[in-house]
Amino acid sequence: MKHFKIILAYAFLFMFFLACKNEPKTETITVETSEETTKSLDSNATYSKAEFNIKGMTCEIGCAKTIQKKLSNMEGVKSATVDFKSEMAMVEYDVAKANPMSISKTVTSVADTYSVENMKTVAEFSGAKKSCEKECKKACCKDKTKADKKACAENCKKECCAKKA
Residue-wise pLDDT for 147-160, tens only, equals 666 666 566 655 55
Is residue 165 scored above 50 in pLDDT?
A: no
Distance (Å, whole) CA 137 – CA 130: 11
What domains lie within the chain, and their CATH numbers? 47-123 (3.30.70.100), 128-160 (no CATH)
> What pLDDT is recorded for position 164?
45
Rounded mean pLDDT of the chain?
75
Cβ-in-10-Å burial (0-12, 13-18, 19+) of 101 comes to: exposed
Q: What is the pLDDT of residues 33-61, one digit of tens each?
A: 544 455 666 777 888 899 999 999 888 88
Query: How far apart, in Å, are the Cα atoms of 7 and each of 12, 16, 18, 48, 115?
Result: 9, 14, 16, 83, 70
Partner residues linked to 117 by β-bridges: 53
pLDDT tens for residues 67-88? Answer: 999 999 999 899 899 998 888 9
pTM given for the model? 0.54
Position 133 scores a pLDDT of 54
CA dihedral 36, 52, 82, 73 (to 10 degrees): -10
Tell me: pLDDT of 30 over 80: no
Q: Higher confidence at residue 72 or residue 127?
A: 72
- Per residue in 103-118, pLDDT (tens digit) is 999 999 888 888 889 8
- pLDDT attached to residue 136: 55
